[in-house]
Structure 1
Amino acid sequence: MRLDKVYIDGFKNLKQLEVDFDESRLTTVLIGQNGAGKSNLIEALAQVFSHVDLRSATLRFKFRVVYRIQSRKAKAAELTRVALSNVPDEPAVQIDGKPVSRAEFERNKSEWFPDLVLGYYSGSGRRLEQVFDRHQTNYYKAIARNNDESACYQALLARRLFYCRHTHGAMALLAQFAFPNKAADELLRDIVRITGFHSALVLFREPWYAKGGHAKKLQEAGAFWGADGPAGRTAHLIKSIAFHPFGLTGNAIDDYREKRLDEVQFAAFLRDRLAVDQLRKAFSDDADMFYDLEALDVSDLVRELNVWVTRKNNDTGDIEYSDLSDGERQLLMVMGLLRIARGRRVLCLLDEPDTHLNPHWQLRYLRLIEQWTGTAADADNCHIVLTSHNPLTIAGLDKTEVRVLHTDPDGNQVLASPPFVDPKGLGIAGVLTDIFGMPSTLDEPTQKLIDERNKLARLKNPSLAQAHQLEIINDELHKLGFMYEERDELYREFLRKLDDVELADSEPLNPEQVAQRDETTRELVEKLLKKP
C-alpha cells in the first residue's frame, strides 16, 4: 500500500494543500518549520481513513486521497489505484479511474482498503490518538467477555486503525522473544544490544467490572474477576505458566492529583526462557500472541507488563524494559509494531518518531526502519509517512523521499514540494541550508562577526580605523578556525557582488528560495571567474 496523491482543504491551516508522493518509496519524511502543518497532515490522513472505514459523520474538510494497493485477487505485479474523495462533483470512490458505488466498495473493502493504518505520536498529547479511539472502542465492545474466538478474530480484522502506545513496545518485545527470528534478533542485538529474554512479570489489576468489596475482589483475583474473551483466556494461560502466582493489594495512582487507592492485583512471574517457550505453544505466531497480550490492556485487566532482558556485557537480568532509554523504547516500539504488522498492507503515520534518538541512531533511523521492514514486514505493501525536525534523519535520503511543507510568499497557503537537491551527500550543514532553508548554520555571535568582516572587506578604500578593525576581526576568526586572507582581491570582489543576495539575517527559506539563492550565487561566481 503506497500513497500517491493527497489533497486536503479546510483542515486547520491546510488549504488546498496538494502532496504528490513517490509511491515507489517505502518512506516519506515531512519536514518544515514549526506550525507549517506537518502534524496536521498526519492527523488529516488519519481522519480520512477513519471516516471512510467507519462511514462516520461528514468531515469538516474536503479531501482526495489516492493510493495504490495490492489487491489479493490481482496478480502479484498488478496494483489497484484507489481514489477516495468528498470533493463536490467528484465520485466518492474510484477504482482504477472508474467510479464505484459505496456499497460495492464495502463489499470489496478487504481488497481495496488498507489492512492496517498505524498511528504514533512521540509527545504527550492525545490529538492524534483520539482519531483512533472509536476503532479501539468498537474492538473492546466486540471482544469484552466474548468467548467466540471467530467473532473476536473478525473484530480484530475490522480494527483497521491502530494507535501505537508505549506499553505496546514491551508486548511486541515479549512476542519476539517467544518467536525468535534470526535476522530480527541480529538487528535487535546490534541496535540496542539486547541479547535475550531473562524474565517477565505481569501485574493484573481489578477491572472496572469487578464486583463486591475488597475482600471479595481479593478472593476472586485468581479467577481474574470473571474476565472472559481473549483477555480472560490469556490471563489464565499466563497464570498456568507463572511461578507461584498470587493475589495482593497494591497502591494505585494514575495521576499525581489523585489519592492513592488500594487496588486488588494479581502477580504472575515468568521466571525464565522455559516459561516463554510454554507460552509460545498457545499461539500460532508472534502477531497472534501480541494481540492477545494487547487484549489484556484493552480490557483494563493489566496494570504493568515488566520484561527483563539480557544485554551485551550484562546478563544479570537487572535491566527492565522501562529502564531502557526513551530512544531505545521508542525505537523498539516502532520496530516491534512493524514486525507484528508483517504480511498486511500497512500505512504508518508517525509524528516525530525520532525525537528521543541519539545522533548516531538519527542518522541511521530510516535505513534501520527500511532494513527492519524488509526483515519483519512486507516492504512492498507498506508506506511509512513520518514527520521530523532532524537533519540527521534525512541526511542519507534522495529528494524523492522528502516533502518540505512551507507557506507561500503571502503566508496564506501551505505548500508541499520536494527539496531542489538530494539531501544525500550534502552533509549536516548542507542539509540545514539546502533542505531546511536555514541561511546559516553558525551560532548568531559568530555569524555577526563574519557579517562584520565581510562588510569591511567589501570596502574599496577603507580608512585606517576600518583596516585595523578588519585585522582584529580576522585574528579572532582565525582563532575560531575561519581562514581568510584580506589581500585576496577575487574574494573581496565576490563579497561586493554578493551584497545584494546576502541572506544571513533572513528567515528560513522555502525550496524555491533556496534554489534561487543557489542559482544566483553560481551565476555570480561564473561571472567573476570569466573576468579578465
Structure 2
Amino acid sequence: MKLLSLEIGEQFRSLHPGFKVHFHKLTDKGVDSMLEFQPFCFAGLNGSGKSNVLEALAAIFYHLEMCVAKYRPDSFEKHFSRSKSTPDAFTLKYLTCSSNKNDYVLFLADIVTITKEKGKEPVMTVEPNPFSKEKGAEAREVSLKPSARSQVRAPGKEFLPDLVVGYSSGENEILSLPFIKNRLIHFDEYKEAVKKGFPFDEPETSLLYIDEEMSQAVLLACMLYEDPKTTLKPLRDELGIVGIRSFRMNLNMQTLHLDEEKKDSSPILYQVEHILDKLKKCASSWYEQKGGIKGMRDGLFTVLTLDFFVDEKTKQVFRDHFSSSFELFRFFQVLYELNANIISTPTKEEVYKSRGFYTDGKLPEAGPEDRVFYFLDYMILKEIDGLEKPKELLLREFSDGEHQFLHTMGICLMLKDRRTLLLLDEPETHFNPGWRGKFIKVLNDSLKAGGTNNFLKDVILTSHSPFVISDCLPNNVIFFKRNKDNHKIEAKTARELDFNTYGTSVEIILDELFEYNQSIGDWANEELKTIDFDNIETQEQKEAIKQELRILGESIEKDLVLAKLNRMKFD
C-alpha cells in the first residue's frame, strides 16, 4: 500500500483542524518512486507534531479494524462506537490492491478514500487509479460492516492493510495505546474460539506493535529463514553477527477460564496443540515439568521447555513445518498475546475505555511464572575484534543500539511480502553516527537482496538525525514547523522548501531544517564566544588565547576564530 494524503478534521494533539499532509503523488515520477525503497522521513523540532501524525494513523486504522471486525469482546463493546473515534474527523487516502487479487501491481491498484465526519461512521470509497486498466470507472462505496448472520467478513476489510506495524524506540505510549488495546482483543478473540470450538490460526485484526519481547520473535524468524549471504549480510558487516547458536522457550500450561465465575475452563494452549507439535519436531530436545510452578492466577501447572541448537538442519526442519518466517512469527505472536491471561476483565475495560495518553500502571507486570510464553538463553554468535572465533553472547548482552538495529531491520525483512504500513518513531536514537549514516542504505540493500516488492508497503519514520535525512529524497522528507503568524503546524516536503536533502552535509541540514548553525555543542561554543577581540593588544595576549584554545578539538568554529587571531598584527 502507498499513502496519498491525510487530513485531520478536528484538533488532535498538536495538529489543528484542517491539518493536511501529502505523501505519494499519482504522477509518472511519483509512481516510479513507489517502486523503490523510499521511506518518508518526518523531521522537525521537538513538539512540532511529527509523531502526532503516526499516532493519528495508528488510531485511525485501529478504529477501521474495529469497524470491520467480526469479533469484539463484550467488555470492549461497551466502550466502542462506530461513530466515535480519535481523531473523530479525518480524510485518509491511500493506494492498495484488494487482498482478493493475485498480483500486487500498480495497474490493479485502487485509490481508497476513508472519510469520517464528527459523530458519524467512517465511509470507504474505492476507485481505480489513473494508471489502472479500469480507469474511468466510477467510485463506489464499500461497506465496513461485517455480516451479522454469517462468518463472511466486511467487504471493506480486503482494502485495509494486511498489517499496521508500530515501533517506538522512546516508548511512545500514545502511539502504542491502540496496539495494546488490539492485543487484549486478540486474547479475548482466542478465548472465544476456545469457548466455541472454532479453529484459531491468526488474529483477525491487523495492528501489531513490536516491543522488546515481540522483537525477539521477529529476530528469530529472520535468523532462521533469511539468507546470511544476502539479506542478513548487513548484520555481519555492521554488528558482527554470524547467526543464532541456540535458544530456549518456556510455555506455562496455565488454565484459561472461560467465564467470570471460573466454572468453565480449558488448558490455555489446547487450541494450538497441533502447532506446538510442530515446534516439538523442530526442537533439539524438550521436556515437561509437571505441576512444578505456581503462578498468581492458577495453582500449580505444567511447564513445557523446548531447547533448540541451531544449524542448517534445524533451519530446514523449521522450513518443513512452517512455510515462511511470517507464519512462524504469527504463531509466536499468538503465544505472546496469551500472556494477557493474567489481566482481569475490569482492567481490560479500563484500557478499552481509555482515550488518554497512557496505560502505564494499568496493566500488571507479569513475572516469568505468570507468562504463558517467553524465550530464555537466546544465544547469538558474534565476531569480536581480537578473537579468532565468533563468541556466543546472550541477546540481552547486546547494547541498546545493537538491539535497535536488529529490531528495525528484522521488522522490514520479515514483512517484506505483506501489504504493510510501518510506523517507526525515531528508530535510530541509540545508533552511533556511523550507523545513522548507514541506516537507510542498509535497509535498502537488504530488501533489494531479498527481492521485495516495494509497492506492497509504505514506511514512515520520524527522526532528528541529519544523517538519516541526508539519505532521503527531498520529496520524501516532510518537515514540520509551527507557523509564527497563526501558530498552526505546517507539514511541507523539503522539495516544497526548495531544499535538496539527498546527499546534503549534516551541517547544512542542521542549519536549514533545525536552525542550528554551529557544528559543536553550546558549552564548547561559549569558549569561543567569550573571546574579546577588541581588548587583545599584544602578541603575547594573542598567543595566550591560542594556547587556551588547545583544549578544544577541531571544528569549523575554532578554525574561524584562529584565522581571525592570525590576521591580527602587532608592532
User: TM over 0.5, yes or no?
Assistant: yes
The 3-state SS of whatever aligns with 1:7 is strand
Which AA in structure 2 matches 1:77? L
Partner of 1:58: 84
Structure 2 residue corresponding to 1:128, chosen from 164, 175, 183: 175
User: CA–CA distance in 2 between the matches of 1:209 and 1:149?
Assistant: 14
User: CA–CA distance in 1 between the matches of 2:86 and 2:310?
Assistant: 53
1:13 and 2:59 are equivalent in the alignment: no
Aligned positions of 1:110-125 closer than 5 A: 110-125=157-172
Contact 2:420 2:456 in 1 (8 A): yes
TM-superposed CA distance for 1:244, in Å, is: 5.0
Cα shift readout 1:340-391 (whole Å, capped 9, x = no counterpart): 2232211101111112222211111122222233344421221110111222
Change (3 A) 1:178 1:109: same
Partner of 1:84: 114
Cα shift readout 1:57-84 (whole Å, capped 9, x = no counterpart): 5124321111112343788332321221
Change (3 A) 1:387 1:467: same
Structure 1 residue corresponding to 2:242, chosen from 195, 210, 214: 195
Aligned positions of 1:438-457 closer than 5 A: 438-445=516-523, 447-448=525-526
C-alpha RMSD of the superposition: 3.7
The 3-state SS of whatever aligns with 2:12 is coil
Partner of 1:257: none
Cα shift readout 1:193-229 (whole Å, capped 9, x = no counterpart): 2222311111223535389xxxxxxxxxxxx956222
Unpaired runs of at least 5, structure 2:
26-32, 68-81, 129-137, 147-153, 259-265, 340-371, 551-557
1:426 and 2:504 are equivalent in the alignment: yes
Change (3 A) 1:447 1:320: closer
Q: Comparing both structures, which one devotes a greater share of its residues to helix?
A: 1
Change (3 A) 1:210 1:151: closer
Aligned positions of 1:284-323 closer than 5 A: 284-300=323-339, 301-312=372-383, 318-323=392-397
User: CA–CA distance in 1 between the matches of 2:218 and 2:104?
Assistant: 32
TM-superposed CA distance for 1:450, in Å, is: 5.4
Structure 1 residue corresponding to 2:270, chosen from 205, 228, 236: 228
TM-superposed CA distance for 1:286, in Å, is: 1.4
User: CA–CA distance in 2 between the matches of 1:441 and 1:173?
Assistant: 37
State the TM-score, normalized to the length of structure 2: 0.70
The 3-state SS of whatever aligns with 1:123 is coil
User: CA–CA distance in 2 between the matches of 1:243 and 1:226?
Assistant: 22
Contact 1:120 1:163 in 2 (8 A): yes
Which AA in structure 2 matches 1:245? Y
Partner of 2:143: 103
Change (3 A) 1:146 1:388: same
Contact 2:112 2:127 in 1 (8 A): yes
Change (3 A) 1:276 1:250: farther
Which AA in structure 1 matches 2:471? G
Contact 2:286 2:304 in 1 (8 A): no
The 3-state SS of whatever aligns with 1:281 is helix
User: CA–CA distance in 2 between the matches of 1:138 and 1:375?
Assistant: 36
TM-superposed CA distance for 1:90, in Å, is: 12
Which AA in structure 2 matches 1:197? I
User: CA–CA distance in 1 between the matches of 2:412 and 2:86?
Assistant: 31
User: CA–CA distance in 1 between the matches of 2:492 and 2:322?
Assistant: 46
Which AA in structure 2 matches 1:130? L
Contact 2:474 2:493 in 1 (8 A): yes
Aligned positions of 1:3-402 closer than 5 A: 3-8=3-8, 9-15=10-16, 16-22=18-24, 24=33, 26-55=38-67, 56-61=82-87, 62-71=89-98, 72=101, 76-78=105-107, 79-87=109-117, 92-96=123-127, 100-103=140-143, 107-144=154-191, 146=193, 151-153=199-201, 155-156=202-203, 158-181=204-227, 182-207=229-254, 209=256, 225=267, 227-230=269-272, 232-240=273-281, 241-247=283-289, 249=292, 265-273=303-311, 274-300=313-339, 301-312=372-383, 318-376=392-450, 377-402=452-477
Change (3 A) 1:473 1:392: farther
Which AA in structure 1 matches 2:505? G
Counting matched residue pairs gives 460
Change (3 A) 1:447 1:467: farther
The 3-state SS of whatever aligns with 1:128 is helix
State the TM-score, normalized to the length of structure 1: 0.75
Change (3 A) 1:289 1:145: farther
Change (3 A) 1:233 1:320: farther
Unpaired runs of at least 5, structure 1:
212-223, 254-260, 490-532
Cα shift readout 1:452-506 (whole Å, capped 9, x = no counterpart): 67xx88xxxx7xx4766995798479754334347989xxxxxxxxxxxxxxxxx
Cα shift readout 1:147-168 (whole Å, capped 9, x = no counterpart): 8999434x53x32111112222
Deviates more, 1:299-308 or 1:387-396: 299-308
Structure 1 residue corresponding to 2:489, chosen from 400, 403, 414: 414
Contact 1:196 1:311 in 2 (8 A): yes
Which AA in structure 1 matches 2:127? D
User: CA–CA distance in 1 between the matches of 2:441 and 2:198?
Assistant: 38
Change (3 A) 1:60 1:47: closer
TM-superposed CA distance for 1:331, in Å, is: 2.0
Change (3 A) 1:195 1:210: farther
Contact 1:32 1:389 in 2 (8 A): yes
User: CA–CA distance in 2 between the matches of 1:169 and 1:407?
Assistant: 35
User: CA–CA distance in 2 between the matches of 1:194 and 1:143?
Assistant: 36
Change (3 A) 1:437 1:225: same
TM-superposed CA distance for 1:135, in Å, is: 2.9
Contact 2:255 2:268 in 1 (8 A): no
User: CA–CA distance in 2 between the matches of 1:90 and 1:296?
Assistant: 34
Cα shift readout 1:268-309 (whole Å, capped 9, x = no counterpart): 211342445434322112111111122221222213344312
Contact 1:86 1:92 in 2 (8 A): yes
Partner of 1:484: 563
The 3-state SS of whatever aligns with 1:34 is coil
Partner of 1:524: none
